[in-house]
Amino acid sequence: MKKIFVIISILMMLTLLIACSPAEKVPETTGATEEQPTVITEAVIEESAPPASDNVIKITANGFEPKTLTVKAGDMVTFVNEDSDKHWPASAMHPTHDVYPESGGCIGSKFDACKGLEQGESFSFTFNEIGSWGYHDHLRASTTGKIVVE
């Protein structure tokens, strides 16, 4: 008999919880109303911010972030080393670095940091050539990324 009483008590508590649930939906509606001005604010920020600021690739212990970045011809991309270890972004392929077609730099193309970047150091490069350009960390050749230039 005690078990039946416990089961009935649980059922009554569940009924109370369900009865209370419409009250929880009211704050959700308020939250949705608050999100709308935030979206408008973000759109305004995107319009006023320089487009080049979006073309940042973070280098962490996990590699390049984002791994693939799409930019327009003539856009500058900045690689920022956020890791305590040194990282050296450079054009594919290791070790010749000659896939990116602009000559210059130190090994095989202009797309080459030419040294290991210290923590907090950055390397910026302007992509003038349209194409899909693979690159890697010259100090860890298995760490790769891709810049797509449209």
Q: Which residues bind Cu ion (CB under 5 A)?
A: 94-95, 138
Distance in angstroms (rounded) separating the CA atoms of residues 20 and 86: 56
Cα–Cα separations (whole angstroms), residue 54 to 33, 64, 67, 145, 148? 28, 15, 14, 17, 14
DSSP state letter for 73: T
Cβ-based nearer residue to Cu ion, 110 or 138: 138
Q: How far is the CB of 35 from Cu ion (least distance, A)?
A: 45
Q: How far is the CB of 55 from Cu ion (least distance, A)?
A: 22
Cβ-based nearer residue to Cu ion, 75 or 125: 125
75: tokens are: 């856009």
Q: What are phi and psi of 96, to 5 degrees?
A: -85, -25
Cβ-based nearer residue to Cu ion, 94 or 146: 94
Q: How far is the CB of 93 from Cu ion (least distance, A)?
A: 8
Name 61's bridge partners: none
Give the position of tokens 């011809």.
73
Distance in angstroms (rounded) separating the CA atoms of residues 73 and 108: 21
Q: How far is the CB of 99 from Cu ion (least distance, A)?
A: 11
Cβ-based nearer residue to Cu ion, 69 or 113: 113
